[in-house]
Structure 1
Amino acid sequence: MFSNNDFPLSPVPLDQRKGFVSMTSVLLGFTFFTATMWAGGKLGSSFSFYELIGLIFIGNLLLGGYAASLGYIAYRTGLNTVLLSRYCFGNQGSKLVDLILGFTQIGWYAWGTATIAIVLVELLNLPQSLTLPLMLLFGFAFCLTALIGYRGLEFLSKISVPAMLFFIGLSLFQGAIDIGGIEALISQTPEQSLSYSAAITLVFGTFVSGATQATNWSRFSKSGKIAITSTLLAFFIGNGLMIFVGAFGVLVYQEADMVDVLVSQGFMLIAVLMLFSNIWTTQDNTIYNFAAAGCHLLRTKQRSRVILAGASIGTLLAVFGMYEFLIPFLILLGTFIPPIGAIIITDFWLKRRHDTLSFEDVTFSKINYAGLIAYSMGSGAAYLSEWVAPIIGILVAAISYGLLDLLLKKQVQIEA
Structure 2
Amino acid sequence: MEEPMDEDFTQKLLYTNDKKDLGSISIILLGFTLFLASMLSAGALGIELEFKDFIISVIVGNIILYIYTSLLVYISSHTGLTIYLLSKYSFGEKGSYLVSILLGTIQVGWFSVGVAMFAIPLEKITGIPIITLIMISGMLMTIISYYRMKSLIILGIILIPLFVILGLWSVGISIYDVGGISNLLQIELKSIGNISNGISLCIATFISATMLFTDFTCYSNNKKTSLRHVITTVLISIALMFFFGMIDTMAIGKFNIFEIIFLQSLMVLVIILLGFNIWFINSNNLERAFLKIRKPLKNKFVIVNGVMGTLFTIVLYENFLGWLTFLNVSIPNIGAIIIADYFIINKSKYTKLQETSLEKVNVIAIISCGAGGLMAYFLDGIAPINAMVFSAIFYTVLTKMKSKYAINL
TM-score > 0.5, shorter chain as reference: yes
> Are 2:19 and 2:219, in contact at CA under 8 Å, matched by a contact in 1?
yes
Provide the C-alpha distance between the structure 1 equivalents of 2:395 and 2:284, rounded to a whole number of angstroms: 30
Count of residue correspondences: 404
Amino acid at match of 1:316: L
The alpha-carbon distance between structure 1 residues 157 and 352, as it changes in their structure 2 partners (threshold 3 A), is: farther
Provide the C-alpha distance between the structure 1 equivalents of 2:273 and 2:252, rounded to a whole number of angstroms: 17
Provide the C-alpha distance between the structure 2 equivalents of 1:168 and 1:327, rounded to a whole number of angstroms: 21
Q: For residue 127 of structure 1, what is the aligned residue in structure 2?
A: 128
Please state if 1:267 is matched with 2:266: yes
Amino acid at match of 2:69: A
> Are 1:49 and 1:185, in contact at CA under 8 Å, matched by a contact in 2?
no
Please state if 1:406 is matched with 2:408: no
The alpha-carbon distance between structure 1 residues 82 and 255, as it changes in their structure 2 partners (threshold 3 A), is: same
Provide the C-alpha distance between the structure 1 equivalents of 2:296 and 2:232, rounded to a whole number of angstroms: 31
Please state if 1:14 is matched with 2:16: yes
Q: Could you list the runs of 4 or more consecutive aligned residues of structure 1 that deviate by over 4 angstroms after TM superposition?
A: 2-5, 257-260, 298-302, 324-329, 351-354
Unaligned runs of 5+ in 2: none
Q: For residue 304 of structure 1, what is the aligned residue in structure 2?
A: 299
Please state if 1:76 is matched with 2:78: yes
> Are 1:110 and 1:314, in contact at CA under 8 Å, matched by a contact in 2?
yes
> Any idea what the Cα deviations from partners look like across 1:219-255, whole Å, max 9, x if unmatched?
2223212222222323332122212211111111234
Q: In the TM superposition, what are the counterparts of 1:238-277 in structure 2 within 5 Å?
A: 238-256=237-255, 260-277=259-276
| SS of corresponding position for 1:357 | coil
> Any idea what the Cα deviations from partners look like across 1:28-55, whole Å, max 9, x if unmatched?
1111222221221122223332332222
Q: For residue 310 of structure 2, what is the aligned residue in structure 1?
A: 315
The alpha-carbon distance between structure 1 residues 245 and 193, as it changes in their structure 2 partners (threshold 3 A), is: same
Amino acid at match of 1:31: T
Unaligned runs of 5+ in 1: none
Please state if 1:35 is matched with 2:34: no
Residue among 33, 41, 63 paired with 2:65: 63
| SS of corresponding position for 2:126 | coil
Q: In the TM superposition, what are the counterparts of 1:182-201 in structure 2 within 5 Å?
A: 182-201=181-200
User: Could you tell me the percent identity over the aligned residues?
Assistant: 27
Q: For residue 214 of structure 1, what is the aligned residue in structure 2?
A: 213
The alpha-carbon distance between structure 1 residues 77 and 121, as it changes in their structure 2 partners (threshold 3 A), is: same
| SS of corresponding position for 1:375 | helix
1:9 deviates by 1.2
Provide the C-alpha distance between the structure 1 equivalents of 2:339 and 2:296, rounded to a whole number of angstroms: 26
* Normalised TM-score (structure 1): 0.89
The alpha-carbon distance between structure 1 residues 387 and 134, as it changes in their structure 2 partners (threshold 3 A), is: same
Q: For residue 331 of structure 1, what is the aligned residue in structure 2?
A: 324
Provide the C-alpha distance between the structure 2 equivalents of 1:13 and 1:237, rounded to a whole number of angstroms: 31
Please state if 1:95 is matched with 2:97: yes
Amino acid at match of 1:183: S
Q: For residue 177 of structure 2, what is the aligned residue in structure 1?
A: 178
Please state if 1:229 is matched with 2:228: yes
Q: For residue 372 of structure 1, what is the aligned residue in structure 2?
A: 366
> Any idea what the Cα deviations from partners look like across 1:344-387, whole Å, max 9, x if unmatched?
11111124465363222222111223322221221121111121
Q: For residue 278 of structure 2, what is the aligned residue in structure 1?
A: 279
Moved more, 226-235 or 65-74: 226-235
> Any idea what the Cα deviations from partners look like across 1:62-108, whole Å, max 9, x if unmatched?
11221222122111122221211111111122222122212222122
| SS of corresponding position for 1:270 | helix
Amino acid at match of 2:349: D
The alpha-carbon distance between structure 1 residues 56 and 323, as it changes in their structure 2 partners (threshold 3 A), is: closer
Q: For residue 334 of structure 2, what is the aligned residue in structure 1?
A: 340
Provide the C-alpha distance between the structure 1 equivalents of 2:13 and 2:216, rounded to a whole number of angstroms: 12
Q: In the TM superposition, what are the counterparts of 1:124-163 in structure 2 within 5 Å?
A: 124-128=125-129, 131-163=130-162
Amino acid at match of 1:102: G
Please state if 1:116 is matched with 2:118: yes
Q: For residue 53 of structure 2, what is the aligned residue in structure 1?
A: 51
Amino acid at match of 1:126: G
